[in-house]
Amino acid sequence: MKFATFLHGGRRQSGVVVDDNVHPFEVPAELLEFVKAGEDMLRRAAEDALTGTTPLPLTEVRLLPPLQPPTVRDFVTFERHMEGMARGHGDTVPEEWYAAPTFYFSNPYAVIGAHDDVPVPPGCERFDFELEVAAVIGRAGRDLTPGQAREHIIGYTILNDWSARDLQGPEMSVGLGPAKGKDSATTLGPWLVTADELEPHRTADGFLDLHLTVEVNGTTIGQDRLANMAWTFEEMAAYASRGTQVRPGDVLGSGTCGNGGCLAELWGRRHVPEPLPLAPGDTVTMTVQGIGTISNTVVEGVPPIPVPRARHRR
């Protein structure tokens, strides 16, 4: 099943998507509340919606992020992406990358919908997209094994980890990872696809083999297969739960795919900023087999409010 959150007539609602329509839930609750109540409750709500509410054409609603995630962990699981990014700095992939599926925490307040405009972050001149798939946690768990973790993933959505590359590089030299370089926008959508829908695409070794593409203004920039991840989502969820909890609604991003999943990877391979960084008016469209399509247009942002440089200690 596919579940969406949307605006219609100024009212925020959630419901189940079938073909080109969305059937609103009879109970006016957030999708995350149904997820917390359990998968059985979510499916009953979907069945009630399909028989008890009037469907709305998707063309008449504004899709919002499927849910408001409590946390967003963004992993880096594609080796080819790592190779391209490392070449841009004259290095090889760090040996530490191979040891575990590392991640950073992104900003859950910055999530936007499948077709929302994306302002250029303040002060950014090298704006970039990142094509990813995200798993959504449906049940709380701690210190999970990968086998156990499969039962804790309720579904998947597309994730675009928008990146201000010229802000990201300098701030990461401090040693804390990305901050304002990744802080302005993360697209989630177009909806949440339940895990069972994608099981036919699972390989013998546990990966989801989905085709991924990204276009800018109608020109294909990159494409890859999700099965090229170095870890499965279950392994990522198990690692995320190590020594702590994962909870319903938590988002686990796959990290950027290879073969042009972002512009910075191509800049690293070519040693020149080609294609050019994103600019106002550019439209980025991402399609993932079995999930759907998101398409966001870049718009003018606001200038940065000045903050003073550090005061040296006396």
Please state, in angstroms and rounded to a whole number, the distance separating the CA atoms of residues 305 and 13: 35
pLDDT at position 88: 57
Give the pLDDT confidence score for residue 314 in this predicted structure: 85
Of residues 157 and 271, which shows the higher confidence score? Answer: 157
The answer to whether 236 touches 199, Cβ cutoff 8 Å, is no
Q: Which of 159, 160, 164 is nearest to 183 (CA)?
A: 164
**pLDDT over threshold 60, residue 182:** yes
pLDDT given for residue 139 in this prediction? 97
Q: What percent of the chain has pLDDT over 70?
A: 99
Burial track 86-103 (b if 16+ CB lie within 10 A, e otherwise): bbbeeeebeeebeeebbb
**Is the pLDDT confidence value at 89 over 70?**
no
What's the pLDDT score for residue 244?
98
Distance CA 221, CA 77 (A): 20
What is the C-alpha to C-alpha distance for residues 106 and 109, in angstroms, rounded to an integer? 9
Average pLDDT over residues 194-223: 98
Structure confidence by residue, pLDDT tens digits, 1-12: 999 999 999 999
pLDDT in tens, 98-128: 999 999 999 999 999 999 999 999 999 999 9
State mean pLDDT over 253-269.
Answer: 96
- pLDDT digit string, tens, across residues 34-44: 999 999 999 99
DSSP class of residue 101 equals -
User: How far apart are the C-alpha atoms of 240 and 65, rounded to whole Å?
Assistant: 22
Question: So what's the pLDDT on residue 310?
Answer: 95
pLDDT above 70 (res 90): no
Fold of 72-299: Fumarylacetoacetate hydrolase; domain 2 (3.90.850)
Whole-number Å distance between alpha carbons of 199 and 9 = 36
**Which amino acid appears at position 89 of this protein?**
H
Quote the pLDDT of residue 291: 98
* pLDDT of the residue at 194: 98
Q: How far apart are CA 297 and CA 283, in angstroms?
A: 4
CB 102 within 8 A of CB 93: no
Q: Phi, psi (5° rounding) for residue 13?
A: -140, 165
Sign for the CA dihedral angle at 49, 29, 72, 150 comes to negative
* Domain ranges, ordered by start, for the chain: 2-64, 72-299
Alpha carbon of 280 to those of 69, 113, 171, 226, 238: distances in Å? 28, 18, 24, 29, 39
71 has pLDDT over 90: yes
pLDDT in tens, 231-240: 999 999 999 9
Distances (CA, A) of 309 to 201, 295, 306, 312: 51, 37, 9, 9
